[in-house]
Structures are given as C-alpha cells and as structure tokens.
Amino acid sequence: MLAKIREKTQGIVAALILGFVAIPFMLWGIGSYFDGGGTLAVAKVDGIEISQDTYRRRLDEIRGTNPRGAENSLMKQLVIESLIGQTLLTSRAQDTGYRIGDAELAALIHEIPNFQRDGKFQSGLYEAVLNAQGLRPTEFESRVRQQSVVAQVEQGLSDSAFVTEAEITTMLRLRLQERRVSYALVSGDAFAAKITISAKEVEEYYQANPDSFRAPEAVRVAFVSLKAADVATKIETTDEQLREAYEAEAARYVTPAKRRISHILFSLPGQPKDEDVQSAKTRADALLKQIRSGTDFATLAKKESSDTESGKKGGDLGDVAPGVLPAELEAAAAVLKQGEVSDPIRTSFGYHLVKLTGLTPEQRKPYDAVKAELRDAVRKRKGEERFYEQTERFRNLVYENPQGLDAVATALGLKIEQSDWFTRAGGPGIAAQPRVVSGAFEPEVLSRARNSDAIDVDAQTMVALHVVDHRPAVLRPLADVRAEIETSLKQRKAREQAQAAVKQWVQALAQGQAIAELARGPGITLRTAQSLTRERPGDTNAAVVAAVFAAARPQDKPVVGEVDLGQQGFAVYVLEAVKDGDPASADATVKASARQQILQRRGVDYYASYRAGLRKTADVKINAEQL
C-alpha cells in the first residue's frame, strides 16, 4: 500500500507546508490524528472537534497566495467544509483499519526531495525551522499522517473500480469518432471600423462607472530581508572543518569498484522440477570442466549460453557496478581474481558460470580536488543553521521596535531597501510576493505606521516592512481615460453587432443557406468541410471543437450552432456528418489508454460518492461565529 500511495502523498505533504516550502524535520513519535490544541472549536464532526487553530492556519495558507480570497465568506465556508471532509475521511479510515505506521510515515517523509540535502534526509535543523514556520512537530506529523491515510482510502476505492470490454468499445467509438464540419470565426474587428463613439457617450459612461476609473490604493514600503544565502556568504571556514566534512561525506567522493564480467547461463523455467535443476547443473559442471581444461570461455558462451544477447559477445556483460547483478553473482564475482571462472552459481534465472575479465578499483577524489565544493557545502549548512538562529532574533527586533526598521537592520547588519509603488494586486520586486502585499495592507501597518510582522517569504527568506508612503484610491480625470473609454465602448458595440450577425446567420443556415455565401468579408475566417476527431482537432479553436462534439448527430439535415469565443469574437458552425470510430483499428496503446480513462473517472466517482455519503450521515455542528 505504501508504494501505491507514495506519489499521491508526495504532493499532499508538499502542500501541507506553509507557502509550499521545504521544511527539514525529524519524527517526534506518534502524532494524534486529531490534534485539537486546546483552543475553541470551529466545528464538531461526530464528536471530533476541529480547532480554531487548525482552521486559522488553513486560512493563513490561502492568505499567503490569495490575500483577498481568504477573507471571502465563500472561501471560509469551503475551508471549513474541506476540514470536515478531511476529519470524516480520516476517522472512517481509522475505524476500518487503515493505518500509516511510524516506519511508513518516516519513509514517506524521507523520500521527499525538499526534505533532503545532497540527496539525504536531514533532521538537524528541525527545531529552528519548524519554530520559524510556527509549526509544532505533532501537528505537522498528524497532518501528514491524516493525508496519507486518506490517500489509502482513495487508492482502495480506485482499485475497486472495474471496466468491461463493452465500455471500452463504446469509449473507443467516441474517442475515434470523426465529425465533418464547416465553420466561420467572426471577430468584432469586422464591425469596429464603422463604429463611432460620441463625446456624450463617453461622458455618460464615465459618470455611470466611476469605480472603473479609480486609480487603486497604493503604497511604497521600506523593507529588510534576512536571507540564508546572504548569511552563508559571511561564513568563514577552516581547513579543519573542510577535512571533517570530507571524511564525513567520504562516500560522496568515492567511485565504486567496477568489475567486467562474462557469464554463461543455463536457464531454468519459472517453476522448475527437480530434473530441470539437475540437468542444468550437470551441463554447467560439464562446461566448467572444459573451460578449466583450456577451452575458450567466450567460444563456449556463444554456443551454449541461454542468454543469447550476451552470448553473441562471448558472454560479456560489460563493467558492472555494485547492486546491478543478482546478489549471488555479485558475491561470487567479488572473490574472483582476474581471469578466474566461478563454480556453477544458482539464481532465479538458472545456473551461471561467471568469469572476471577486468577490474577497475575503487577510486576516491582527493581532498584538494573537492575543496571548493566542500567549502560551499559547509558554508551553506552553517549559513542555514545561523539563519535559523537569527530568525527568532529578527522576529523579536521587528516586534520590539515597531516604529521603524533601523534597529533590526543595525543589529543584524541588514540593508534597508525601498520598494516601488504597488497596489493590493501586487507589483514588481518584493511586491510580487503575496504575503508581502498582504502584510503591507494590514490595518496596523497601513494606518498606524507600525512594522509588519516578520514575513516568511520562503524557507530561506524572511522579510519585515514599514509603509513609507500611502496613496488612497482616487478618481482619474476624464481627460486621462477618454481614449480608454472610447476603445472599450467601440469594442462592446462591435461585439454586439458581431453577435447579432451570427444569430442571423444561424437562422439562415438552418433554412438551408450555404455558409460560404454568408461568411465573407474582413475579420471573418471560413473553414469548410473540416474532418475533426477528439484526438486530432488540428488548429481548430478548442471551444469550437468542444461545441461540435457536444452537438447532436445530424438526422435529415445539418446541425447548426454558435459559440461565444469571448475576446476572440464568435463562431458559427454547420455539423454535416458524424462517423463513429472503429474500435478494431485502435492499437494496444490506445485501448489501454481508454481503459485507464474509464477507470480513473470511475475511481473519482466512487471517491466522491463515498465522501458525499459520509457527509450526509455525519453529525456536524459548525460554530459560525468562530469562522
């Protein structure tokens, strides 16, 4: 089961980390499935409380990427429903025997690349990093465990799905179906040239839509950044430290020994009988006697080996690194001297005679050759350690000196920088970070001229800011936006005229008029008698393809329809004929893809139905005033 859910869980665990950043950590025992944390409950699900801390943290995660969305009442409802569903799924999974043991949990976590340094899981920075992110070990592990258990349930439901050959045949008929269609694309540009906008229309639109022409509220901020990379550049290293690292990471700088091996195989069937085993062993013994009497190994391999591929090369398997061959062959090859041939060796493939034809000894890169790499690695490691030590001091200094950033800049040797103007939608540079934008527009920061809290931009960057200039939203003068309004009104009228023309065309086409007679002129693109399939739509607009394949089959006359293409205009189509695909023409890959598509859809449906059933029968109480 661990192997089945690993891929799903890898993505889940990454999403659990605030800001989707890497947090190295170690396991601190078994975390509770439902860690209430002793705070007010926002909901109770079959007697299990969902704490306000859990709810607030989930909202904070959303706020980091979508500050406005997190304050939306619908988003808050979606968050609490998500937590209710998660609680139900985890509880039922536990009741029915699904488990993630400590060893499995550790394996899942250790395999995540974001938790590794140089390919290895690191736990030394756990306490400092987790503290910097405001996470408790038990809480984090509990969430990983919950998501992993739920992944087991989802995998189990998906595995229970099945598909019949009849369903695959139907799917192939649809996937390979061919539809012959003619269509025209109509852009508003076809009508815009003849449209004029009066000054009165511009003024009326300006008066009726003032919010559309307000320059948004904006700020400029001073900020300081604490970065692990900058801290690392200030780290001094000694030769002693580098040599210690060289010895500690010795395996990284060693190229394992390689043995060039040839073999002769006497294969056995999957479930060999005693006589099969004895026959293969007898043949191997006989050939070994010939070899030791002077017969050439390579010549015999070409004639006698069941492994015909290597046999063509005299049994040569090339240079073989440790871990490639079956353990029995590796053990035998390890004790052979160059040119020696082993006694017959039994593996799951049969009996082998193994000859060592070459040996490349283990090689270790000298210290001087990797000294620069070691210096970078030691600086990075020590820089991260010092960075995480400084994050708490950074937080405290920002909090204790709320009227400005001079204290934190002086104490930690940081530079105070200035941003450009940016709005609640963000901006260039530091304002491209949603958490920074959210922090700049916090009421305490904006109106009371206080520092923001320390902001975790990512795992190795912390920022604090102070608003130095604030520009309220103001209505832009009509003179500044006149051209913008004229363009907008012209585009709107052109679109309206294009839509009216398309509707007239649809009526005319339904009465039998040819599309080629209607779709003429600038801004109109005509395509006739196009053969489309779902698999090969060519360069046809995706919305047109979707509409054509959603349309009913033509009976006694073509099917006519229109498609709204948004900013691109409109399309009108004439579906002339439908030809179902031939399942017999599909190769094995296409058939397998169709089967997998049905299974995936069915698995998703099973899972959705299961979740809906749990929610329908659950005893759920939501404490709305705590949301």
Q: What is the DSSP letter of 37?
A: T
Q: What is the pLDDT of residues 258-305, one digit of tens each?
A: 889 999 999 988 788 999 999 999 999 999 999 999 999 999 999 999
User: What average pLDDT score do residues 400-404 get?
Assistant: 94
Rounded Cα distance between 73 and 627, Å, is: 9
Rounded Cα distance between 91 and 618, Å, is: 11
* Distances 322 to 102, 259, 335 between C-alpha atoms, Å: 30, 9, 14
Q: What is the pLDDT of residues 407-417, one digit of tens each?
A: 999 999 999 99
**The domains spanning 217-237+370-472 and 257-361 adopt the same CATH topology:** yes
Crossing angle (nearest 10°) for helices 367-400 and 239-248: 110
- Give the CATH number of domain 2-161+616-626: 1.10.4030.10
Q: What is the pLDDT of residues 131-158, one digit of tens each?
A: 555 566 667 777 778 888 888 888 888 7
CB 428 within 8 A of CB 194: no
> Across the chain, what does the average pLDDT equal?
84
Q: How many CA atoms lie within 13 A of 570 on its CB side?
A: 21
According to the model, what pLDDT value does residue 125 have? 53
- DSSP states of 97-129: T----HHHHHHHHHT-GGGEETTEE--TTHHHH
pLDDT band per the 50, 70, 90 thresholds, residue 18? very low
C-alpha dihedral over 179, 600, 598, 594, to 10 degrees? 60
- Which residues, 6 or more positions from 195, have their beta carbon under 8 angstroms from its beta carbon? 490, 493, 494, 497
- Give the CATH number of domain 217-237+370-472: 3.10.50
CA angle 250, 365, 247 (to 5 degrees): 25
- The answer to whether the Cα torsion of 507, 509, 512, 517 is positive or negative is positive
User: What average pLDDT score do residues 198-207 get?
Assistant: 95
> What would the two tokens of residue 500 be?
């009216």
Q: Which among 13-27, 183-197, 289-303, 350-364 has the top mean pLDDT?
A: 289-303
* Distances 624 to 36, 41, 80, 263, 616 between C-alpha atoms, Å: 18, 10, 10, 74, 19
Q: What is the pLDDT of residues 150-180, one digit of tens each?
A: 888 888 887 788 889 999 999 999 999 999 9
* Beta pairing partners, 179: 532, 578
* 154-163, 551-560, 586-595: least confident range: 154-163
Single-letter residue type at 232: A
pTM over 0.75: no
Instruction: Report which secondary-structure segment, H or E, holds 524.
Output: strand 524-533
User: What average pLDDT score do residues 17-26 get?
Assistant: 32
CB 441 within 8 A of CB 176: no
Q: What is the DSSP letter of 323?
A: T
> What would the two tokens of residue 142 be?
């509990």
In the chain, where are the structural domains located?
2-161+616-626, 177-195+478-579, 217-237+370-472, 257-361
> What would the two tokens of residue 585 be?
């023409």
Single-letter residue type at 497: Q
Rounded Cα distance between 410 and 416, Å, is: 10
Residue 386 has pLDDT above 70, yes or no: yes
- DSSP states of 427-495: -SGGGGSHHHHHHHTSHHHHHS--PPPPEEEETTEEEEEEEEEEE--EEPPHHHHHHHHHHHHHHHHHH
Rounded Cα distance between 191 and 502, Å, is: 12
Report whether CATH 3.20.20.70 matches the domain 257-361: no
Q: What count of other Cβ atoms lies within 10 Å of the Cβ of residue 409?
A: 17
Residue 381 has pLDDT above 90, yes or no: no
Chain mean position to CA 255: 34
